[in-house]
Amino acid sequence: MNARHVGIIAKKEFLGLNHEKTILLAILLQLFVAMFSSFLMVGLTSMYDPSSLSTATRVRYGIGLAGSNSTLDQMLADRPDFTVYRMDLSTGLAALKERKLAAVIYVPPTLPDAEEPVQVTLYTLQNDIQTAIVQVKLKEVLLEYEDALREARSSRLSATPRDVQFPAPPRSEGFYEFVFGLLVPLLVFMPAIIASSLIIDLITEEYQHNTLETLVSTPVSFVEVVWGKVLACELLVPIQSGAWLLLLGLNGIRVANPLTILLLVSLASLALILLSALTALHYRERTAAQFIYSTALVVVILFVVAVPGNPLNVIVRTATGAPGLDLPGTILIVGAASLVLAILTHRYAERIGRMAQMVS
């Protein structure tokens, strides 16, 4: 196999990527995610952690307060997030329906030290993003009011309660989970998935455009053509992944051990690219090859994710600066899998090349 021929084919395919509109759109989507990761973090983390929204907004919300006077009035007034309006309950609910208020709170006439519980009623809009933010902010005030009621009724206790000090939760927990649990693996592995789908198109188009016989009649062998296409797709992965990590750094998101991450992603992407190349060489038709490969990819991902030391987990830990003892083993296993797939791809391409020469 001539390395110069492989380089020529790789250069040709790499420069021709600007004609692949689907690939370009996928790259632009990743570019958008990487460039505006800090902005997207606020919206996506709110899907599984609504409390994160309470720290991301500085808007003052109008709150209607109805019912009896209580210490809750002053607690709400002391918060910079709320503008409190005293009004009747019916007036407040009418203003809430017209979205002139973010919420309405009704305080019953029950005394703080009464025997019966104090049932405070909160009225909000259903299925509204603003409601999720307001509820999180109001929860803090209502918990403070609850503590005040407990203090007012403390004389009823027959035993002295013991104070238990719990450690404060980390302030950036939602950000940390989103960035290192979702964003980094998504950005660095998406180029591998894109490249593995691209190699199917690059190989099957030789059959669909009837250019295989022309290729084998030139000094370039079919094996060199296949490896040139594989090399072009493989080069795309570290370039993209490195660019995404750089853009994350510009967004203020620092990822530890970027070179180690790029090495592991490059090896994993090589395995995926060779697997898709084998699929394309066997089926030789784009639709069938893409369907079979996509189905197989889902099965492979489910199997790999079920393993504790899988590449996704290793990348997450490596990005946080704690790669763990299974990093060398993971690199060795992924490298061995890539080597086996490389041997199979090489032999299968040689077989197809001999058959094409016999036909021509």
Q: Where are the domains of the chain?
A: 3-35+172-359, 53-151
pLDDT of residue 356: 65
| Residue pair 125/96 in contact by the 8 Å Cβ criterion | yes
- pLDDT string in tens for the chain (360-residue length): 667 777 777 777 766 666 665 566 666 666 665 555 544 554 555 554 555 555 555 678 899 999 998 899 899 888 888 899 999 999 999 999 998 998 999 999 988 888 888 899 999 988 676 787 788 888 889 999 998 988 888 877 777 767 777 665 555 455 666 677 777 887 788 888 888 888 888 888 877 777 766 666 677 777 888 888 888 888 888 888 888 788 777 777 788 888 888 888 889 889 888 988 888 888 888 888 888 888 888 888 888 777 777 777 888 888 887 766 677 888 888 889 889 999 998 888 888 777 766 655
Sheet holding 121-123, edge to edge: 82-86, 61-67, 103-107, 121-123
Give the pLDDT confidence score for residue 123 in this predicted structure: 93
Instruction: Tokens for 82, please give them.
Output: 């709320």
Whole-model pTM?
0.61
Q: What is the pLDDT of residue 63?
A: 92
Alpha-carbon distance of 346 to 59, in angstroms, equals: 62
User: With contact defined as beta carbons under 8 Å apart, do 341 and 278 qualify?
Assistant: yes
What's residue 136's pLDDT? 81
Quick one: pLDDT at residue 324? 66
Q: Has domain 53-151 been given CATH number 2.40.50.100? A: no
Q: Do 225 and 9 touch, CB atoms closer than 8 A? A: yes
